[in-house]
Structure 1
Amino acid sequence: MRTGMLALALGLISLGFLPVLPSVWTLVLLTFIGLSSLPSRLWPIGLFLLGLSWACVSAQSALDERLAPQLDGRTLWIEGRVTGLPEQGARSVRFELSDAESRRGQLPPRLQLSWFGGPAVNSGEYWRLAVSLKRPSGLLNPHGPDQEASLLARRIGATGSVKAGERLLPATAAWRDGLRQRLLAVDAQGREATLVALILGDGGGLARQDWQVLQATGTVHLLVISGQHVGLLAGLVYALIAGLARLGWWPQRLPWLPWACALAFAAALAYGLLAGFQVPVQRACMMLAMVLLWRLRFRHLGVGLPLLLALNAVLLWEPLASLQPGFWLSFMAVAILIFTFSGRLGAWNPWLAWSRAQWLIAIGLLPVLLAQGLPVSLTAPLINLLAVPWISLAVLPLALLGTLLLPVPYLGEGLLWLAGGVLDGLFRLLAEVALWRPAWLPQPLPFWAWLLVCLGAFLLLLPRGLPMRVLGWPLLLLVVFAPRERVPVGQVEVWQLDVGQGLAFVLRTRHHAMLYDAGPAMGDFDLGERVVLPSLRKLGVRKLDLMLLSHADADHAGGARAVQRGLPVLRVLGGEAAALPEVLKAQPCSSGEHWQWDGVGFSLWQWHEAGDSNQDSCVLLVEAQGEKLLLTGDLDARGERAWARDWQAGRIDWLQSPHHGSRSSSSEALLKATAPRGVLISRGRYNAFGHPHPEVMARYRTHGIQAYDNVEHGALRLQLGAFGEPQGLRAQRRFWREPR
């Protein structure tokens, strides 16, 4: 039985590793082979093939529900009902629209929309909206999150930006949204939004600083409704009935065990419905159902059976769940606990069991965090010793009881006020810990080193006294000390990061690193913090020798402060140093300055007769073993002509498309003077400026220049000095990534 369930689970999980989905006839053949194998000795292979086939069918269904290509990028009038809990920000609101209709064509069942500067939007309302719709897409950077995979896992068929709209019908049966408004109106000592996240699973109101604190301390799971919260509530109900039965207070005509299991599951299900019954809650309820069923009828089959049953139940219900990091973290955490506590001789005292569980979970989840590119909290094992019971035994019971008693004057509000105060005390402690020891974002490992780290974690999870267990520690230390590929002397590794309508280049030589522009930032949307800084850390950059900001426009210099806060920056230069924030301490770009790092030459140029910000761009020329790269910022045609007359002008190999491919740049004078063989374009998909302009693209084609666009290729990597071609991350095929 276990063999069959494991084979089925492996087939379902294999979906996430497919570069492309099989054709219809291939799936028919796999299904036929799988069914034919069931009566034979090859039945595990049959279950594997059936699991894989079902996962592929489900994934293809989700892909087919995406926005039609002919509607991609168009602005349509649509009508639909708001579902879920809208995330209300300071300047915008993000929400989902279901069963939307348009006269121009069929729309996906679920849309994710953003409305900047719009009115309040509530769940259950029916709206008529003018929306610029896009097929699901996202930024793709080295070792970063894959937004397209996340959208597919949630079965979002399109994203869009609302231009205008009118409410046609008020909310109907939107009790969760009404409850959220009621909770936000309660005095919870400033923690109203945090309680909403804990009670309703709506984290949209949490401040960015709160999320950073939770991530740094490894306590995000405490505010995201998960198996821990569902299991706690079910465990309290089960323990209450078991205690009543032991004291003889439970009715003897009712068998206590079936009632305890049934009422525990009912309580968990009610909490799940309160939280919106999202995928993590569905996963937790399914796992709990398997555990309770095992407790009733199948204890003799061992403790690993409920985990396998829950794993298969979750994947059969939603095969795309395996595309989300939370799936792997939750099931691995439970598997670690089962492996740790089952089969041990003798019983541990409660404190030893609790403390050891935290450390072993931290060790066991390390390979998963590395594989997913997630930060590692070094303080999580210690802080969770206190934070988990703080939330589980104090805050959550007070919050749920207060919510239940809200109709009772003063009583419900008083309990929520108390819960908010207890929660605020925890956050103050977490903030101090996060300031003392921020989360660590390790550099990705070679595959062989990652496998050895997995082996090391497994050895350390074994009981004490077993041979070879001590070897787990040196294997685990490969996370820090594993040899990694280094840039050869005389070459420079160049990354054009995918930052949408902005610019950010990372240049690494053997012993030095610099950043040319830091990505855009507008209000709370700071890609310097969200993309540039994590990418630098994952590329192994621990300090920047130089941050060069071509000019002061927000799409080039907006992310600079976040980068400077997150990494030591030895020197900052700016094309418009006086216009940059004073905290950056930027020095003016010095035209004619040149230097060498590890056999690679760098030189600066700036037009002294510049009349505006774009013309003030500080230009960087990089030469490695005769191969040249020119980074131009937002230089326009007049500045380009001035550069073409300079002594540095001459043939280059690679050109950063000036001003994102604007019509006012990439002049004939520049292209003739430089004659590049390739141009690197950084821009936002369907940006409002129409970059790159068709005339500019036609000019590139006329000169035989190959264009590499981050919208089509994702982040681009160029090994300057090796005379190769730029490599885009989208070249790594995944079935959910559309070829562009």
Structure 2
Amino acid sequence: MRLGMIALCCGLLCLRFLPVLPVSACLLLAAAGLGLLLSRLYPLGLFLLGVAWAAGSAQLALDDRLPVELDGQTLWLQGQVVGLPEQGDGVVRFYLQQAESRRAPLPQRLRLSWYGAPALAAGEVWRLAVSLKRPRGLVNPHAFDYEAWLTARRIGASGTVKAGERLSMAGGPASWRDNLRSRLLAVQARGREGALAALVLGDGSGLDDADWRILQTTGTVHLLVISGQHVMLLGSLLYALVLGLFRLGWWPRHWPWLPCACALAMFGALAYGLLAGFEVPVQRACAMLAVVLLWRWRFRHLGIWLPLLVALTLVLMWEPLASLQPGFWLSFAAVALLAWCFSGRLGTPGGWRVLVHAQWAMALGLLPLLLALGLPVSLGGPLANLVAVPWVSIGVVPLALLGTLLLPLPGIGSSLLWLAGAQLELLFALLGWLAERVPVWQFAAAPWWAVVLGLVGVLLALSPRGLPLRLCGGLMLLPLLCPPLPRLSSGLAEVHQLDVGQGLAVLVRTRSHALLYDAGPAGRGFDSGEKVVLPMLRGLGVRRLDLLLLSHADQDHAGGAAALLAGLPVERLLSGEVQALRLSRSAEDCRDGEQWQWDGVHFSTWRWQRADNPNDGSCLLQVEARGERLLLTGDIGEAGERHLLASGRDLRADWLQAPHHGSRGSSSAAFVAAVAPRAVLLSRAWHNPFGHPHAAVLARYRQAGARIYDSARHGALRLLLGRRGGAEAARTQTRFWREK
């Protein structure tokens, strides 16, 4: 039985690692699996069935995406708002379900943004004019994969609302959750009404950026927004309540306490899950809790690993796409670690030492998985969770839930919520103090063998005392914490054009130096400096920047600079538009003709000092490695190009960053002819509102014989300057969920 479930789970988990879906072979795999089930090779048969089931389920999600011909089109549609709309920074983000349009069939689930939206409520039906896009996101190594996130939630399209009209008001259970959120946000709870809504309803939109930063730095996000932990926590509290009453002799003798405790725990968890909208993480926790309670009631003699295996099988069979979410791996790994550390051992610690031991196990045991998933590691997380877990579990959550339940009683419910808010205010003060002193850390990306070695190492380190080679577990973590990073030869430069959407960020590395040209855009709800540039720099092993050069002060080029300065040491800051920058430190003015050399690589700048607009005043950078040149041009237009040509400078370059994202007013014929690029790097957003790049500009480059590398089509780009080769595109690394 166990072997069969392990084989089935392995087949289901294969989905996460498939480059393409074996759709045409699914029926063959299923037939082969059914055939092998009747033989001695039944584990192989279950494995094939798992692969076929997962691939078929994923294909249904891909088939439900927006048709290609409607990508980027604006059309009128009608649908119902589901879930709680998220409000912040002047934009409302919400899900629309069962959307219909006269022009074509639409995906069942859409994720929409509406700037300056009227009040929206769950359960309302709206008629909307929406600019729709197929699921597509930025593709960068070591950064968040938005396309995988959309696919895991079976979102067939995203879009921006242009106009709309409400067709019917909210009603039913959906509106009840929305009304409850409004009541919670209206309660006076020491300014922590948003955190209470997050704990009770799973709605994190009431937490501001500073709150999120504190939670992420201290590794306590899982405590303040409903997750599987909260569901398991409530179930455990209700179970412990019945057990305590029984041991005190206060439980009715004619009621068997164990089945009642299990039933009450399950009922409470389901009710809490419904409050939270019963999203996939909550479904996963409820399934796990149901299996554990059933095991505790009837099948305890079969061991602790069986319920975990059954829960894993049920979750993956119900939603195979769950394996695309980091939370899936972390939640099951956390439970497995606790089982590994506490089950079947002599001398298990008691009292407060259990909590200390558990936090140590989580901090060490989840480390390889966090690094494999490219997630940051909170160095203060163990200490923060040691305080925050019992604080939230025992002090805040029961008060918040009881206060919510008693809100209809004047004064009572609001008083309990005030007490819960006061506790949260004090907790945030402590976590903020810790966050200022202990940073979050993202290690350089490690090879797969180091991750496997690290997993074996933590299992050894957390094994019972006296086990041979136990002390070697810590040594096996060293390749994971200090991965071997390739070093460039002298005279070569590694260039990365990051995929930051409608903006620019280019990293240039030599053997021992690093330079960043522009920092990407920042806007409502998204800072590419924080979300894209910093994670990628850290994943590549860049711990400091020798130079941050901002071509000019436009938000699409300098918007991410503040996050970079806060998250990474920067030795020198240079800009072509110093006065317009709003940063925590002053920048040096970019001077025309400045030159320097790092590790045999030559750098030089150019700037039109008297340009009559910021774009033409961009600071340009030329990089030359072993005779191969790269020219980074910021946002200069035709006027700036003419002035550059008149300067008499040798503009020939093998690689050219297309000026101003390929706009119509740039890349003049004379400029292209003078540069004579072998290849052009283009940085822009898919379906951007400016129409970049212009068709005439692309035709000009193609006529010159240049190959065009487009971040919107290719993702992040990497080239080795000095080798005269091509560029590697991140989007060519095939993933079944990734748009081509």
Letter in 2 for 1:23: V
Distance in 2, matches of 1:385 and 1:613, equals 51
Deviations 1:66-109 (A, max 9, x none): 00111110001111111000000031110000111111111100
Deviations 1:17-61 (A, max 9, x none): 00000133x111111110001121100001111011000000000
Distance in 2, matches of 1:378 and 1:659, equals 41
Deviations 1:209-243 (A, max 9, x none): 11111111111110121222111211222222223
Letter in 2 for 1:86: P
Deviation for aligned residue 1:524? 4.5
For 1:170-185, list aligned pairs within 5 A: 170-173=169-172, 174-185=175-186
Letter in 2 for 1:629: L
Letter in 1 for 2:261: A
Deviation for aligned residue 1:582? 5.8
For 1:364-383, list aligned pairs within 5 A: 364-383=365-384
For 1:39-50, list aligned pairs within 5 A: 39-50=38-49
Superposition CA RMSD, Å: 1.3
Letter in 1 for 2:280: V
Letter in 2 for 1:300: H
For 1:602, the equivalent position in structure 2 comes to 603
Letter in 2 for 1:562: A
Between 315-324 and 581-590, the greater mean CA deviation after superposition: 581-590
For 2:68, the equivalent position in structure 1 comes to 69
Residue pair 1:195, 1:420 contacting (<8 A) in 2 also = yes
For 1:705, the equivalent position in structure 2 comes to 706
Establish whether residue 256 from structure 1 lines up as the match of residue 269 from structure 2.
no
Q: TM-score scaled to structure 2, two decimals?
A: 0.98
Distance in 2, matches of 1:247 and 1:221, equals 34
Establish whether residue 659 from structure 1 lines up as the match of residue 660 from structure 2.
yes
Deviations 1:351-370 (A, max 9, x none): 22221111011111011101
**Number of aligned positions between the proteins:** 738
Between 680-689 and 469-478, the greater mean CA deviation after superposition: 469-478
SS of corresponding position for 1:577: coil
For 1:320, the equivalent position in structure 2 comes to 321
For 1:112, the equivalent position in structure 2 comes to 111
Deviation for aligned residue 1:675? 1.0
Letter in 1 for 2:121: N
Establish whether residue 547 from structure 1 lines up as the match of residue 548 from structure 2.
yes
For 1:129-528, list aligned pairs within 5 A: 129-173=128-172, 174-528=175-529
| Unmatched segments (≥5 aa) in structure 2 | none
Between 248-257 and 584-593, the greater mean CA deviation after superposition: 248-257
For 1:101, the equivalent position in structure 2 comes to 100
For 1:578-727, list aligned pairs within 5 A: 578-581=579-582, 583-727=584-728
Between 537-546 and 196-205, the greater mean CA deviation after superposition: 537-546
Distance in 2, matches of 1:486 and 1:143, equals 19
Letter in 2 for 1:203: G
Letter in 2 for 1:18: L
Deviations 1:561-601 (A, max 9, x none): 22111112111111112222263311111111110000000
For 1:2, the equivalent position in structure 2 comes to 2
SS of corresponding position for 2:107: coil
SS of corresponding position for 1:584: coil
Distance in 2, matches of 1:594 and 1:36, equals 71
For 1:28, the equivalent position in structure 2 comes to 27
Letter in 1 for 2:720: Q
Percent of aligned positions with the same letter in both sequences? 62
For 1:569, the equivalent position in structure 2 comes to 570
Distance in 2, matches of 1:526 and 1:481, equals 28
Residue pair 2:552, 2:615 contacting (<8 A) in 1 also = yes
Deviations 1:501-522 (A, max 9, x none): 1111111111111110111122
Letter in 1 for 2:22: P
Distance in 2, matches of 1:523 and 1:152, equals 23
SS of corresponding position for 2:98: strand
Mark the CA change 1:200 to 1:594 in structure 2 (over 3 Å): closer, same or farther. same
Distance in 1, matches of 2:411 and 2:134, equals 49
Distance in 2, matches of 1:458 and 1:666, equals 58
Distance in 1, matches of 2:186 and 2:18, equals 48
| Unmatched segments (≥5 aa) in structure 1 | none
Distance in 2, matches of 1:529 and 1:644, equals 37
Distance in 1, matches of 2:523 and 2:355, equals 44
Distance in 2, matches of 1:664 and 1:553, equals 17
Distance in 1, matches of 2:541 and 2:649, equals 32
Residue pair 2:23, 2:56 contacting (<8 A) in 1 also = no
Deviation for aligned residue 1:650? 3.7
Deviations 1:382-434 (A, max 9, x none): 22111100000000000000000000000000000000000110110000101
Distance in 2, matches of 1:47 and 1:138, equals 34
Distance in 1, matches of 2:344 and 2:391, equals 30
Distance in 1, matches of 2:238 and 2:609, equals 75
SS of corresponding position for 1:21: coil
Residue pair 2:574, 2:587 contacting (<8 A) in 1 also = yes
Residue pair 1:96, 1:113 contacting (<8 A) in 2 also = yes
Distance in 2, matches of 1:650 and 1:567, equals 33
Deviations 1:455-497 (A, max 9, x none): 2212111111211111112222333333211222111111111
Residue pair 1:577, 1:587 contacting (<8 A) in 2 also = yes
Deviations 1:592-620 (A, max 9, x none): 11100000000001124422111101111
